[in-house]
Amino acid sequence: MNSYRKIVQVLIVANIFVVTYVIAAQSQQTPNLFFSCDVKNDLYQVVTKNVGPLPRYDSPAQAVAAAEKGAGVVILADGYPASMTKIEASVLEEAKRKQLHLYIEYPEKLPDLAIEPPVEFKKERGVVTSRIFAERLQPMRIVTINGCWYVPVQVVDAHIVLAKVAGVDTAVFGLKDTPSVPILFDHPRGNLLVATTKLSHFVTGRYMPTEAWRTIWQTILARLQPGMSTIELRWIPTVYPSYGRDESLPATIEQQALRRSTDWIFHSRVLRHPDWSKEVLDRSLHYNTVRDMPAADWPRGDGSFGILEGFSSTIRVDGTQPMRYAVRDDCTMEMAMMLAFDAVVNKRSEHAKIASNLLEYILSKSGLSGGPRGDPKSPSYGLFGWALDKPGAYYGDDNARALLALGAAAALMKDSRWDEAMLRCILANFRTTGSNGFRIDCVNEEWLQKNGWQAAWNGRPEHYSPHFQAWIWCCYLWVYQQTRFAPLLERTQKGMKMMMEAYPAKWQWCLRSGTMERSRLLLALAWLIRVDDTPEHRMWLKKVAGDLLALQDASGAIREVIGDGGPGIHSNAEYATRETSIIQTDGDPVSDMLYSCNFALIGLHEAAAVTGDPLYLKAEDKLAEFLCRIQIRSEKHPELDGAWYRAFNYRSWEYWASNADWEWGPWCTETGWTQPWIAGTFALRQQKISLWELTQKVDFRKHFDRLRREMLPDELIKVPVTTTK
């Protein structure tokens, strides 16, 4: 509790405004405001915490009757979104007679305007369309109103509208070619400001950015009491970063971050249990099923039935987020790695058992390693299926992350029972890698059964995306170090050389991200030096790392950039239609923990370990500190506490970015990808070991000769073979 109070104090001093209600009242004029609302209404709570008690009534009629002439009356929506605000015509007439200044939200009816039944908007965001907020919020400024329900009404001019628009802070294409609806406007009768939704729900609903909503409410309240001083509004959000930008960090912060991230697995209730209802368990069999998170009264699994993918980016009206029910090989094995790290670093041995259960689930029970993948005669033999809903999809990138995580977990637990499955999967990926060293991003079961793995082996694809290629190259280098099987190095070196020769003009920027692609290549470049330390290979690493670190902010954050220099999306019409970047324009001060910073951290760690160059170590330290600061803290939403969101805006110091991605937007958090590679790298740093050194504790030599001949026969691969000793 003492550490929490310290956090709150620092956030206030640093001007970071988040939600709880713990701010001292400021000396100022007592506002001339009368409220009609529930006592727990967010706005009422924030205002009274800042300025002291204000008159509150249970109905608009009571508030209007009590208000003195010329006062402001704030009529807020109770029962939202199920119930609209009822206000009788006689009450409005009384307000007019007393020359009151009114604010009404989510009204059931209004004079001279037709109000239609409520409608739910999902991906739309608020856009400022007038000069009411002066220079602090100019036209086309974007805000969010999460879980928004609004009542349609036709008005000519509005101060804020809802629309699907491209941009981070600003709607860069304006409102062109995108429908919009009014959210805040002046009623023609005068002295009446109307919101068609519940704008006062900004704390519970987690509206963002916080500073923008402070301006919105200061402006609205100022309109209701002309001549009075501006009300100072400050609050602490329900979900906020663990530390301020400049706050001192405990010496054990990385160990604590690992512990909290591991605890998040249990707070979020992502571990599946066989006693969940069949309907719930079957959700994992259908692509992209998003539903309520597992309920508190559902039994918690122990890893033996897998783990869910994580939280969707959607924020609902109550501030909660729905769960993505996919069960994936990569997420499951990566979580096993994190649990194994926690068992060792934080000495919580019970987590090693859960890690073991997760690995056994994927490799023995789920079917993702069974069926054609378990048949030595099948061309997909050895591969890991992507997910329960798509077991016949074989992404090299996902297989690679699963393999590296599996290797780390096995080494940590000193358990050799998965060594053969690991090696088999690496060789399965290798034999579906073409002669140039590139693998198509996703090989599928149907294609393999029709064409055979030899078609992939003899193919010549060129796919200049480190996101898809780099980490499977790491797996080939990992096995080569122990076996000296020349083709592993030859094809990997050829692919990496072509990748560097194509850099950056021919790179294929996944999700348009230049930061992601550079981050993903670091690990492979560092591991190439492990097996073939040449000046050229060190130069490759220095070049890519240098270009990446040119994007590192003083805070330690690494900024997202668009790989080809264009916009994030090209029109409002593209908004929320596909996976895409969380920025719109180069220069947006946003970092990505799902695709970039997480992989940059482990890449820099490995680069520093192999070269000893202080450039990499300094950048790694700065990035690690940044990631410790932005780990989620939340008492209101313990299911999020200890995780990392995809996006963080290091200028405003909050979770804010473009929400153009159709599902994996700024507020998603994955059980795989993000948490394990951030917290896992913290664990490596605590143990003063590299991932390379750790994974080399897995011994492939026992199984290599037999599996290599079975999967890559001499007569089919047509290369000279050096057997292991």
Q: What is the mean pLDDT of residues 699-714?
A: 97
Examine the pLDDT at 610 and tell me if it is beyond 90.
yes
> Which of 661, 582, 667 has the alpha carbon at shortest distance from 321?
667
Examine the pLDDT at 483 and tell me if it is beyond 90.
yes
How high is the pLDDT of residue 26? Answer: 38
Considering the chain, what percentage of its residues have pLDDT values greater than 70?
Answer: 95
Same domain, 210 and 315: no
Examine the pLDDT at 20 and tell me if it is beyond 50.
no
Helix or strand holding residue 524 (H, E) = helix 514-531
- Please indicate, yes or no, if residue 248 is contained in any of the structural domains: no
- Please indicate, yes or no, if residue 43 is contained in any of the structural domains: yes
pLDDT in tens, 333-379: 999 999 999 999 999 999 999 999 999 999 999 999 999 999 999 99
Same domain, 57 and 200: yes
Q: What is the mean pLDDT of residues 212-222?
A: 98
- Please indicate, yes or no, if residue 660 is contained in any of the structural domains: yes
Examine the pLDDT at 35 and tell me if it is beyond 80.
yes
How high is the pLDDT of residue 54? Answer: 97
Considering the chain, what percentage of its residues have pLDDT values greater than 90?
Answer: 93
pLDDT in tens, 528-579: 999 999 999 999 999 999 999 999 999 999 999 999 999 999 999 999 999 9
- Please indicate, yes or no, if residue 623 is contained in any of the structural domains: yes
CATH number at residue 125: 3.40.50
Q: Is 546 exposed, middle or buried (0-12, 13-18, 19+ CB in 10 A)?
A: exposed
How high is the pLDDT of residue 28? Answer: 52
pLDDT in tens, 71-129: 999 999 999 999 999 999 999 999 999 999 999 999 999 999 999 999 999 889 999 99
pLDDT in tens, 466-479: 999 999 999 999 99
Alpha carbon distance 221, 574 (integer Å): 36
- Please indicate, yes or no, if residue 508 is contained in any of the structural domains: yes
Same domain, 228 and 333: no
Q: Which of 238, 269, 298 is the last residue of a domain?
A: 238
Same domain, 186 and 287: no
Half-sphere exposure of residue 86, counting CA atoms within 13 Å on the CB side?
A: 5
Q: Which of 238, 271, 302 is the last residue of a domain?
A: 238
Same domain, 586 and 490: yes
Same domain, 176 and 278: no
How high is the pLDDT of residue 27? Answer: 41
Same domain, 214 and 292: no
| Coil vs helix vs strand at 378 | coil
> Which of 216, 222, 199 has the alpha carbon at shortest distance from 136?
216
Mean pLDDT computed over every residue of the chain: 94
Examine the pLDDT at 22 and tell me if it is beyond 70.
no
CA dist list (Å): 338 to 158, 342, 381, 699: 50, 6, 27, 21
- Please indicate, yes or no, if residue 725 is contained in any of the structural domains: no
Same domain, 158 and 265: no
Examine the pLDDT at 725 and tell me if it is beyond 50.
no
Same domain, 177 and 296: no
Which residues, 6 or more positions from 174, have their beta carbon under 8 angstroms from its beta carbon?
140, 165
Q: How many domains does the chain have?
A: 2
Q: What is the mean pLDDT of residues 485-512?
A: 98
- Please indicate, yes or no, if residue 370 is contained in any of the structural domains: yes
How high is the pLDDT of residue 716? Answer: 83
- Please indicate, yes or no, if residue 269 is contained in any of the structural domains: yes
Which residues, 6 or more positions from 86, have their beta carbon under 8 angstroms from its beta carbon?
60, 108, 109
* Confidence at 719, pLDDT banded by 50, 70, 90: low
Alpha carbon distance 17, 172 (integer Å): 26
Same domain, 577 and 678: yes
Q: What is the mean pLDDT of residues 501-526?
A: 98
Q: What is the mean pLDDT of residues 676-688?
A: 98
CATH number at residue 584: 1.50.10.10
Same domain, 212 and 283: no
Same domain, 338 and 222: no
* Confidence at 397, pLDDT banded by 50, 70, 90: very high
Q: Write out the residue range of the structural domain in which residue 97 sits.
A: 2-238
How high is the pLDDT of residue 25? Answer: 38
> For 328-343, b where at least 16 C-beta lie within 10 A, e where not — what string?
bbbbbbbbbbbbbbbb
